[in-house]
C-alpha cells in the first residue's frame, strides 16, 4: 500500500521505516525541515537500535522517502498515519493542537478518499473529534475520510523489535473497509509472527529475538484509544508500587530484589516493571499518567491511585538527593561523577529523565559534576554547559567524592570497578538504579547505597580492598 506518515519523531520514524521494511511504499513528512534534510541524507536524529540500518536499506530500495512538502505527502498516501506529538499542558491534559493542525492539512489537501489512522497517544474520544474536524474542513465534498485508531506499544531502545515482533496489534475501527485496509497493512507482520518466521527482519544481524505470535485485537476507536493510556498508566503503577516496597524494605531490613523476584514469579503479577530506583521518566509514562488522570476527572471518575503513583514517582528524586546529602554531609564543592543521563538504557532520550533533576539540585548546592553517557551527553550538554562531560566512564571517577548511577546501561556492570576505586577520592557509590551487586561492591571496599537493599559496611581500609580485581561478581545483579 501507499502510506503516508506525518511526524518523524520516535513513533513516526519507527512506524514509517518498519512499514517500508515489510513492503509498503512509505512517504514521511514533518514540519521540522532541518530534520527532514537530515533524514534525506540518511542521518537518523535519534538513537534507536537497528533503526539506522533499516532506514538506509529501505531508502536504497526506494520504499521509503522523506519530504517537507506535507501537502504532497497527504495526496500520495492511501492511508495516513498521524504520529505527531501530544505533549502535556500545564494542567496535565494532552495538547492536541498538532492533531488538529494535521486534520486541517489532510482535509484541505486530500484529493482522494483516505484512511486516517491515529498512531499518536491521545485521550479517548479524540477520534470522534478528528472525524468532525476532517468533515468540517474538507475542501472536496466527494472525498471520503475514514478514521481509525492504531495505538503504538513501542519501547524506546527496542522499538524496531517491538514493531516487527509485536505482542499485540490493536485496531480501533468503525467500519469493515477500515478494518480490511488495516489488516492488509499489518498482514506481513501478522503472517510472519503466526508462522514464527523473522521474514526479512534486519535485526537478525545482531540476534533477532524468537518470533512470537502477535494477537490481533479489533475494537472500537474509543476502546483502542483507552487501551494505550490504560496500559502505560498500569506500568507506572507497577513501578511506583515497587518503589514503595523498596522504601518499606529499608525500614524493616528486607531486600527489595528478593521480594519483587518472588512476587514476579506469580503469573498474575509478572516481573517486568517491578524495579525499584529513581522511578519512571521519558516522554510517555509521565505525560500519559497526567493525561489519563485529567480524562478521568473530566469523566467524573476518581483516579486518585494514579495521582498517588505520580506523587511516589516525584518523591524518588527527593529520597535520592537526601541519600547523597547523608552520605556526603556537605555537597558544596564536592566532586561528583555521574554515570548515565538518558531516562533509560538503549536510548539517547533525556525528556523527563530523572538525571536532569538530580543534576539541577546538585548544581544548585554548589557541586562540581562530571558525567558520562554513551548516547545522551550531547543533548544534556545543551542544557547544562557547566557540567564536564567525559568520553570515557572512568574519567568521571577521577578524584570524585561520590559516583552516582542514574541510568541502567549494561555497560556499567562490566566496568573495572577496582580501577574506579583507585581513581576516586572517596569510594562512595550511590546507585539510583540498583544496577550493581551490593556484596561485591562492599567487598571491593566501596561504601555503597541504593534503594531497598540492606547496606553492608565496606571492608576495613587496612585490608587490600581491590583483592577482587575481576568485575564478574559485580556484573551479576543479585
- Residues with active-site annotation: 284
Tell me, what DSSP letter sits at residue 88? B
> Whose grid coordinates read 498474575?
268
Written as nine digits, the cell of 270 is 509478572
Q: How far apart are CA 6 and CA 281, in angstroms?
A: 25
**Pair 268, 238: CB distance under 8 Å:** no
Q: How far apart are CA 341 and CA 347, in angstroms?
A: 10
- Enumerate the β-bridge partners of residue 81: 5, 117
Q: Identify the three-state secondary structure at position 298.
A: helix
Written as nine digits, the cell of 378 is 550531547
Written as nine digits, the cell of 324 is 547523597
Q: Do you know the residue count of the chain?
A: 478
Q: How far apart are CA 5 and CA 67, in angstroms?
A: 11
Q: What is the DSSP string of 306-364?
A: HHHHHHHHHHHHHHHHHHHHHHHS--TT-EEEEE--SSSTT----TT-HHHHHHHHHHH
The H-or-E segment that residue 79 falls in is strand 79-82
CB atoms within 10 A of CB 454: 13
**Pair 444, 465: CB distance under 8 Å:** yes
Query: 359-377: string of b/e by CB count within 10 Å (b at 16+)?
Result: bebbbebebbbbbbbbbbb
Amino acid at each position: 500500500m501507499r502510506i503516508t506518515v506525518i511526524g518523524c519523531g520516535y513513533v513516526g520514524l519507527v512506524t514509517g521505516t518498519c512499514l517500508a521494511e515489510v513492503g509498503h511504499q512509505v512517504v514521511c513528512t514533518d514540519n521540522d525541515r532541518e530534520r527532514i534534510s537530515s533524514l534525506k541524507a540518511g542521518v537518523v536524529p535519534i538513537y534507536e537500535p537497528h533503526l539506522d540500518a533499516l532506514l538506509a536499506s529501505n531508502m536504497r530500495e526506494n520504499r521509503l522517502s522523506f519530504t517537507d512538502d506535507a501537502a504532497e505527502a497527504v495526496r500520495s498516501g492511501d492511508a495516513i498515519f498521524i504520529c505527531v506529538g501530544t505533549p502535556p499542558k500545564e494542567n496535565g491534559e494532552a495538547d492536541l493542537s498538532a492533531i488538529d493542525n494535521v486534520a486541517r492539512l489532510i482535509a484541505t489537501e486530500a484529493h482522494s478518499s483516505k484512511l486516517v489512522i491515529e498512531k499518536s497517544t491521545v485521550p479517548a474520544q479524540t477520534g470522534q473529534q478528528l472525524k468532525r474536524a476532517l468533515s468540517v474542513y474538507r475542501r472536496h465534498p466527494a472525498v471520503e475520510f475514514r478514521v481509525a485508531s492504531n495505538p503504538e506499544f513501542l519501547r524506546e531502545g527496542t522499538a524496531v523489535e517491538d514493531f516487527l515482533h509485536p505482542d499485540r496489534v490493536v485496531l480501533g475501527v468503525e467500519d469493515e473497509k477500515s478494518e480490511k485496509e488495516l489488516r492488509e497493512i499489518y498482514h506481513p507482520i501478522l503472517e510472519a509472527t503466526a508462522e514464527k518466521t523473522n521474514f526479512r527482519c534486519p535485526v537478525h544481524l545482531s540476534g533477532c529475538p524468537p518470533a512470537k505470535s502477535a494477537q490481533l485485537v479489533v475494537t472500537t476507536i474509543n476502546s483502542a484509544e483507552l487501551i494505550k493510556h490504560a496500559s502505560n498508566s498500569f506500568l507506572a503503577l507497577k513501578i511506583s508500587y515497587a518503589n514503595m516496597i523498596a522504601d518499606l524494605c529499608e525500614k524493616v531490613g528486607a531486600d527489595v530484589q528478593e521480594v519483587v523476584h518472588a512476587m514476579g514469579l506469580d503469573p498474575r503479577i509478572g516481573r517486568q516493571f517491578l524495579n525499584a530506583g529513581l522511578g519512571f521518566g521519558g516522554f510517555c509514562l509521565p505525560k500519559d499518567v497526567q493525561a489519563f488522570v485529567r480524562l478521568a476527572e473530566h469523566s467524573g471518575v476518581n483516579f486518585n491511585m494514579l495521582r498517588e503513583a505520580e506523587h511516589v514517582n516525584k518523591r524518588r528524586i527527593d529520597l535520592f538527593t537526601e541519600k547523597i546529602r547523608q552520605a556526603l554531609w556537605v555537597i558544596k564543592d564536592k566532586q561528583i561523577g555521574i554515570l548515565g543521563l538518558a531516562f533509560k538504557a538503549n536510548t539517547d532520550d533525556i525528556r523527563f529523565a530523572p538525571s536532569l533533576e538530580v543534576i539541577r539540585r546538585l548544581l544548585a548546592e554548589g557541586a562540581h559534576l562530571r558525567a558520562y553517557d554513551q548516547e545522551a551527553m550531547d543533548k544534556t550538554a545543551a542544557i547544562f554547559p557547566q557540567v564536564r562531560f567525559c568520553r570515557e566512564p572512568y574519567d568521571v571517577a577521577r578524584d570524585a567524592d561520590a559516583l552516582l548511577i542514574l541510568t541502567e546501561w549494561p555497560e556499567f556492570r562490566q566496568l573495572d570497578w577496582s580501577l574506579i576505586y583507585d581513581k576516586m577520592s572517596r569510594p562512595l557509590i550511590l546507585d539510583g538504579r540498583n544496577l550493581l551487586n551490593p556484596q561485591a561492591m562492599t567487598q571491593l571496599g566501596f561504601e555503597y547505597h541504593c534503594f531497598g537493599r540492606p547496606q553492608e559496611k565496606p571492608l576495613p581500609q587496612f585490608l587490600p580492598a581491590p583483592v577482587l580485581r575481576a568485575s564478574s561478581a559485580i556484573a551479576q545483579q543479585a
